[in-house]
Amino acid sequence: MNEYLVLSKEVKEALAEGVPVVALESTIIAHGMPHPQNVETALAVEKVVRENEAVPATIAVIGGKIKVGLTCEEIEYLGEKGPEVIKVSRRDLPYVVAKGLDGATTVAATMFIAAMSGIKVFATGGIGGVHRGGEKSFDISADLQELARTNVAVVSAGVKSILDIGLTLEYLETYGVPVIGFGTDEFPAFYTRKSGYKVHITADTPAELARIIKVKWDLGLKGGVVVANPIPEEYSLDYEEITRAIDSAVLEAAEKGVRGKEVTPYLLAKVKDITGGKSLEANIQLVLNNARLAAKLAQELSKL
């Protein structure tokens, strides 16, 4: 494995000593946010993880090496190159490594690499899911299959309504992925705390979350867990406004015939433009909030 995988010294030592580690993805840096907010956010997220006594491990492919624990310079490099960096999900990983290229890892690829490295907790903004019209287009993020098979707990603020939230939850149910609302019985919709869909489990403390996750894996139930952590009230956006922005972005993407891996980044950028950057501020705040919870969860898991 060492031929491909490079853990930073800090991450390697933390894992050897049982210090909690939180994995972080890089598609959000290169494709999810504009420069320079992407770099500022990635560094702020790492800081929040440290403040909560865990070690951050931002994951990406740099020059064909799968790196776990990027340096600040590497984060800046990815952030500056932005969409030029290949978006790497599970299927893209062999190619990017074989060719010695750079790659920004999605939730799916980051989960896979985290598990390979021995990291159990991962913080992000939102996971991918079943796109609207997915029953026809088959546009279903590889993140969902990864959650079905890879043992990593993913803390997110739910999924955006650029996706079909109902179908996404059905898919997760079919594949046996627990969806745990943190302090809520409603699945959050990223920018808003409400989506109109319930979660089937609620946990109110990081310790309670950790216990459920530990039991899952002790029982040999393979796969991940979605921890759905609602955006803090003070940063959440107006439901009507964000719904309008998303609806018009989805319509435009369909008209332009945007397909495949371009769909998610296209919609994210469009929604940001329509809301005049308000969605970006909410996005930044919810990622920080997720990093905080992930660090606490990693702490609790390390005690069990």
Residues in contact with Mn ion by CB under 5 A are 139
> Applying CB under 6 A, does 225 fall inside the site for ligand PSU?
no
Q: How far apart are CA 107 and CA 167, in angstroms?
A: 19
**Helices (H) then strands (E): counts for the chain:** 13, 11
CB of 262 to ligand PSU, least distance (A): 8
Binding partner selected for residue 229 from ligand PSU, Mn ion, none, CB under the kind-specific 5 to 8 Å limit: none
Q: Please tell me whether 141 is known to bind a ligand.
A: yes
Site string for ligand PSU, 255-294 (x = CB under 6 A): ------x--x---x--------------------------
CB 273 within 8 A of CB 252: no
Q: How many residues bind ligand PSU (CB under 6 A)?
A: 17
Q: How far apart are CA 259 and CA 264, in angstroms?
A: 9
Binding partner selected for residue 32 from ligand PSU, Mn ion, none, CB under the kind-specific 5 to 8 Å limit: ligand PSU
CB 92 within 8 A of CB 110: no
Q: Output the six-digit token pair for 251.
A: 């319509």
**What crossing angle do the helices spanning 278-303 and 37-51 adopt, rounded to 10°?**
30
Residue of 120, 160, 270, 296 marked catalytic: 160
Q: Is 25 a catalytic residue?
A: yes
CB of 111 to ligand PSU, least distance (A): 9
Ranges assigned E (strand) in the chain: 5-7, 21-24, 55-62, 65-68, 86-88, 103-105, 121-123, 153-156, 179-182, 201-203, 225-228
Q: Please tell me whether 139 is known to bind a ligand.
A: yes
Binding site for ligand PSU (CB under 6 A): 25, 27-28, 32, 89, 106-107, 125-126, 128, 141-143, 160, 261, 264, 268
Active site amino acids? 25, 160
Binding-site annotation: residue ranges for Mn(2+): 139
